[in-house]
Structure 1
Amino acid sequence: MPSLSRRAAVLGLLPLLLLAACGTAAGTEQGSGAVTAEAAAAAGAPLKIDTSPDQKRVRAEKVDAIATRVPEAIRSGGELSVGITGDGTPPLSFLADDDSTVIGVESDVAQLVADVLGLRLRLDRTSWENLFLAVRSGKDHVGFSNITVTEERKDIYDFATYRVDQLAWETGKDSKLTRIEQPSDIAGLKVAVGSGTNQEKILLEWDERNKKAGLKPIEVQYYQRPADYYLALKSGRIDVYFGPNPTSAYHSAVSGDTKIAGTLSGGGESVQGLIAAMTQKGNGLVQPVSDALNTVIENGKYAEVLKRWGLSNEAIPASQVNPPGLPRQKK
């Protein structure tokens, strides 16, 4: 088992002892203990989850009709190389108690896809920036890392959707901020956000609208690790953190030191963002991946995985290949 300090660093303050995220369906499973944030609050007591390397992942059966359409160069190798960050952002992607095994909803969905395609799953831990380079070069066959579909990214990559994209505004539990719904609500605040992310794009757009309206600009701050911005939030160096809803809902429920002041579609105020598996452009893999996702959506395995991690309300009815993405940035 790792030290308490290591786990505290991952979540910002407390060890990984419970799971509460943003789903609408609550339930527990042997070895997982998934629960919604709403259900946890109503019950008044958190549930323990399994953070061991042996996750007993939900598995799927191979579908020959889909597996045979995987590009020969990949099929002959017998494995699906998946780029994933594993960077300490539960319930998306984080390390188990052995400090090396990647666990979370992203790796579980990747496992289902690999199963349907009849391939061994190989998770390749990498940074957010290198993930895109690895997929573009073919080093990794597909990326599973909470990647939002955008029109600009579609120029370079292909996408197969598997979740809706929701973002959250996370503040200190004693913060006077009670609700963030529009740009004016964040005027003059110190806001932390991940560099190069879709939420950064939305944040900067809101800031521009505020400045045009004569409101105070925000002060944007960037941190490399989740523990850093949660420490900044607790100490008051920042007023709010803007990030993926699953991660913020999980941290808020686990630590008890923060609260969710509002949520927003990953597409901003008018477009629903979509999370997708990302493949090399035009290499023929994206359609089999999408078909594999639709197979597990139809047979219920996909729902089992999302329920396990408390993300049932981020489910989609069907996977799409290269759907309309978030609009291009204006130049």
Structure 2
Amino acid sequence: MSYPKPLSEKTLARKYAEAGLTTKQQDFLHAFFDAAVNLYGTVPIRHLWEIYKDLSTRIDIPSIRQKDLVAFSGIARREEHSYYVFEEDELYDLDTEEPSKPLDRELVAREIMGSGYGKRMVYYQLTDAQADKPYFIPDDFLTYATTKQLSIEEKKLKDFLGRLKADAKELVDMSGHKKKSNHVGKRLSEFSFLSHHEEFQVKYLSGEIEGGPKRNEKKLNKYLEDRKGPELEKLLRDIHRKSVLGLVSPTLQLKWITSELRECGVLLSKKDLEKLVQLFMDYHNHTHLYSNRGWKPVELAQRTMRRGPLTISLGPGIQQAIKEGKIDKKELEAMFKEKGVKFQYE
């Protein structure tokens, strides 16, 4: 089943009128859907309803019924967005003739879906990674509908990478192929660069690879658009994309980053490498990840700790130390209280 094409503005206006959605409700739902996809990458409509109900108990937002949310999701399928609204049978090969239920529709970021064979692979990997994790639902949920300013950690990483220079006179790719550099001494913000893998992709989509497909103008232009601009901006886009998906470990991400830098001619000193590792890990741990259903790794870890055992019993050795005055009971209790843990003491 192919995804439906966008409707005209006139037809969309008629559908919104038929659904009984006011302009205020439409504006809210557009922002609500944008925020959800920016935080989660993918989320079922039935979960969006639960998120809306949770949010409505804490902040002042327009009154929406479940049927309004469902109706909007059906209309949003026919608009141009940074996301798709898929029916269940468009995502899964269901062995049934029953039509998909509207609440089983799923909001999916466009960047998650590939093309051709395996186009849903990242989506399946992501939903597996999200399983059993709670949704991040902050009071300022709607602010995530638009691109937020760089976090402190992201700015520090960008500043560090922006100061690096490509000093190597000869470039060596992962396959050992060498070529002369034409951007010696330039910072990453001052030149564009395609890696050996990216150059292959361009040739492949251009139809220049023997035995490969014919030239695909649409896919080629899309790929070139994604790769355009200074190396710094391209690198940051890729770091962000890989991070928010959360399907590649930070260790593998660092290996890819250092490989990209080496291939474009950046010679990292030991001090630079240590700084890069520190800044990247800080950035990763403070980034809202799709795979964590919007939670930053540090926040999810803290939440998991809080949801662990809330009460512990002290062993006889510690109890005896308290009796003998070697351990101050009040100080110990205060320390545990700070971590959200109570302890039993007899």
TM-score (norm 1): 0.24
Higher RCO structure, 1 or 2 (CA under 8 Å, sep 6+): 1
TM-score (norm 2): 0.23
Q: Which has the higher helix share?
A: 2
Q: Which has the higher strand share?
A: 1
